Amino acid sequence: MFLTFETYWHGEWHISAVARIKDQSLGYEGHSDVEYELDYFVDTAAADFHTEKPVKDARALSINYPVSLERYYRQTWPPFMLDLMPQGHARRKLAEHLRIGVDARASDLPLLLRAGGNPIGNLRIKEAAEAEEQRLAAVRRVGVTERDILERTDLFVEVVDRFGMIASGSSGLQGEWPKASMTLASDGLYYPDAFVHDDEAVRHVIVKLLRSRDEQDRLILEGEAGYSKLAQELGLHVHEPSVYAEGVLIIPRFDRQVKDGVVQRFGQESMVSALGVAEFGHLASHEDYIDVLRRNSEEPFADILEYMKRDIANRAFGNPDNHGRNTALSKGPDGSVRLAPLFDFAPMRLAAEGIARSTRWAAMREIHRDTAPDWLTVCQAVFPDNPCEAQGLLDEISGFAEKILSLGNLNAFGIRDDVSKRAAANLIPVCEGVLEASSRRHEFMTTGNSSCPK
C-alpha cells in the first residue's frame, strides 16, 4: 500500500513524499520505503542542496529523513509514522469503534489512517485527510463554550464522545489519559479541531480528562496545572500555563499558533523518533537524547541545559514519567529546530500503579546511582571533550537548584499541600545533590586549562 504525506510549509500544504508499506498485516514491524516527491524537493529544498547541509527542519518528515532525492529503506515503518499513531486510551477507543483488535499489529495501519488526517505537528496523511473530509461533510458541527469544557456539561461530554470518533485530530492523541483536540473559532465557541478551518481559528488547545475515578488521578490532573505555572516561574520553557477545573485540564497547544490571523504549524517529533527508533516503550538513556539535541538543535547548549533542568525538576517534584515520547523536538516555520516546550509535567508519583523512571543516566549505570546522580560526573559525560562547557553546565544547574529551594510554599501555584508533601518529598535532597557537586567544581581543572572563560 502507498501512503501520501503532506507537509505544511509557508502557509500551505504540499504533497511531500510517498511511503510504501509492503505487508499491512505486520503493522509497524513491516518493511517500508519512503521517497520525496521531485516537485516538493525542487520547490522547498533544492536551493539549500548546494550547501551540502541536510534539510531536516519542518520541511522534512523527520530529522532522520532529510529532504533529498534519496529513497529511504527500513525493516520497519519510519519512526516518525509512530508519532502519528494513536496510543493508550485513544488507541483502545478507536479500535473498539472500528471493531478491530487493539493490540494486533494488523490494526496499526487502519488506526494510522483514522488518526493521521489531522495529527499533532505539520504532517498529515493525504488519504486519511480526504477520508476525514468525507466523514465530516454531512455532519453539522456543534460548539461549546470554555465554561462548558471546564464544567464538563452534558453538551461538552456529548460533543467529545460523538465527534471524537469522527474527527481524527480530536482523539488521535497519545497517552493513557483521555484527550481531545479543540479549537476556538471566531464565533467564540470551541469545536473538535477538524471542524474549524484555518481562516476562522483563534486558539488551539488539548482538553485532558480524568482517566479514572481514582482520587489520585484527580490530584495528578489538578497538579499538572499548578506544575505548569511552577515550571514557568522556574524559567523552564513553558508555552503557556494550563487551566484546571473539576476533572478537566485545558492545555494550550504549542504546535499551532495564530499570528495576524494566520495559523502557523510547527513540526513536532518525539525524541524516540528523532533517535531513529520505531518502537513503543523503547528505553534509551539521557545521553542518547542529549546527543540528538547536540546534533540537531539550533542552540545545542541552551537546549541541553533546558533538558538537564527538566530532569532535575522531574526528580524534585515527583514526575518519574520521563519516557522519550514525553519530550520532543519542535521545528518552526522559520526553519529552526529546538527542544519543544515542556509538556506532561505532573506529580505522577501519586499514581496508584507506581511509575519508574524509564530514561536514566548511562554515566550512573555502573555505580548504580541514577536515583541520586553525581551531577559533576553527569556534566562531564554530557561534555566529555569540553571541560569548560561541562563546568558551565554544572554552574547553571546549580543556580537552578538554588531557585527551586527558594520557592517556598507551592500553594502560590495552585498546588495543594498534600500533593506537594508527597510528590515533592525528595525536593531538598535532589537540590542538595546538585549543590554538593557544584562544591567540587574545581575537579574540572585539567592540565593546561586551569580556568574557563566567563
The answer to whether residues 204 and 303 belong to one domain is no
What is the 3-state secondary structure of the chain? CEEEEEEEECCEEEEEEEEEECCHHHHHHCCEEEEECHHHHHHHCHHHHCCCCCCCCCCCCECCECCCCCEEEECCCCHHHHHCCCCCHHHHHHHHHHCCCCCCHHHHHHHHHHHCCCCCCCEEEHHHHHHHHHHHHCCCCCCECHHHHHCCCHHHHHHHHHHCCCCHHHHCCCCCCCEEEEEEECCCCEEEHHHCCHHHEEEEEEEEECCCCCHHHHHHHHHHHHHHHHHHHCCCCCCCCCEEECCEEEEECCCEEEECCEEEECEEEEHHHHCCCCCCCCCCEHHHHHHHHHHHCCCHHHHHHHHHHHHHHHHHHCCCCCCCCCCEEEECCCCCEEECCCCCCCCHHHCCCCCCCCCECHHHCCCCCCCCCCHHHHHHHHCCCCHHHHHHHHHHHHHHHHHHHCCCCHHHHCCCHHHHHHHCCCHHHHHHHHHHHHCCHHHHCECCECCCCC
One domain, residues 153 and 295: no
Query: How far, in whole angstroms, is CA 123 from its chain's centroid?
Result: 15
Instruction: State whether 298 and 192 are in the same domain.
Output: no
Report the number of distinct structural domains present in the chain. 2
Nearest residue to 181 via CA among 90, 107, 258, 92: 90
Evaluate whether residue 224 is within a structural domain: no
Asked whether residue 270 falls in the same domain as residue 170, the answer is no
pLDDT for 171 beyond 80: no
Report residue 172's pLDDT band, with 50, 70 and 90 as the boundaries.
very low
Clarify whether residues 321 and 201 are in a common domain. no
List strands edge to edge, sheet with 243-245. 190-192, 179-185, 201-209, 248-252, 243-245
**Is 229 part of a structural domain of the chain?**
no
Question: Do 197 and 390 form a contact (C-beta atoms < 8 A)?
Answer: no
Same-domain status, 437 and 327 = yes
From first CA to last CA, the distance across the chain in angstroms is: 57
Which among 192, 209, 226 is the end of a domain? 209
Tell whether 437 is covered by a domain.
Answer: yes
Q: What is the percent of the chain with per-residue pLDDT over 70, rounded to a whole number?
A: 95
- Considering the domain architecture, whether residues 72 and 161 belong to the same structural domain is answered as yes
Domain for residue 332, yes or no? yes
Choose the weakest-confidence range: 99-108, 261-270, 308-317, 352-361: 352-361
Report pLDDT for 167.
63
Does residue 282 lie within any of the structural domains?
yes
Confidence band of 354 (pLDDT split at 50, 70, 90): confident
Vertex 400: Cα angle to 395 and 402 (nearest 5): 95
Q: Is residue 223 part of a domain?
A: no
Mention every residue, 6+ apart, whose C-beta is less than 8 A from residue 76.
28, 29, 30, 31, 32, 278
What is residue 177's predicted lDDT score, i.e. its pLDDT?
A: 83
Residues 196 and 271 in one domain: no
Residue whose grid cell is 592540565: 447
* Domain endpoint, select from 161, 179, 209: 209
Range of the domain at 357: 266-444
d(C-alpha 304, C-alpha 286), whole Å: 10
- Give the model's confidence band at 329: pLDDT under 50 very low, under 70 low, under 90 confident, else very high: very high
CA dihedral 78, 82, 84, 88 (to 10 degrees): 170
Residues 83 and 186 in one domain: yes
What value does the mean pLDDT take over residues 343-370?
90
My answer on whether 201 and 63 are in the same domain is yes
Is this prediction's pTM over 0.85?
yes
221 in a domain, yes or no?
no
Summarised one tens digit per residue, pLDDT across range 135-153 is 888 888 999 999 999 999 9
CATH code, domain with 360: 1.10.1070
Mean pLDDT of 115-134: 94
Please identify, among 164, 187, 209, the residue that sits at the C-terminal boundary of a domain: 209
User: Does residue 271 sit in the same domain as residue 406?
Assistant: yes
Query: How many whole angstroms separate alpha carbon 277 and alpha carbon 375?
Result: 28
pLDDT tens, residue by residue, 61-82:
999 999 999 999 999 999 999 9
What does DSSP say about strands 243-245 and 190-192: parallel, antiparallel, or unpaired? unpaired
Cβ within 8 Å of residue 195, ≥6 positions away: 136, 141, 163, 167, 183
13 and 155 both lie in a single domain? yes
Q: Dihedral of the CA atoms 437, 442, 443, 445 (nearest 10)?
A: 140
169, 118 contact by CB (below 8 A): yes
Q: Indicate the pLDDT class of residue 168, thresholds 50, 70 and 90.
A: low
Per-residue pLDDT of 409-449, as tens digits, reads 999 999 999 999 999 999 999 999 999 999 998 887 653 45
- Cβ–Cβ under 8 Å, residues 135 and 97: no
The answer to whether position 231 is within a domain reads: no
Q: Which residue has the higher pLDDT, 313 or 448?
A: 313
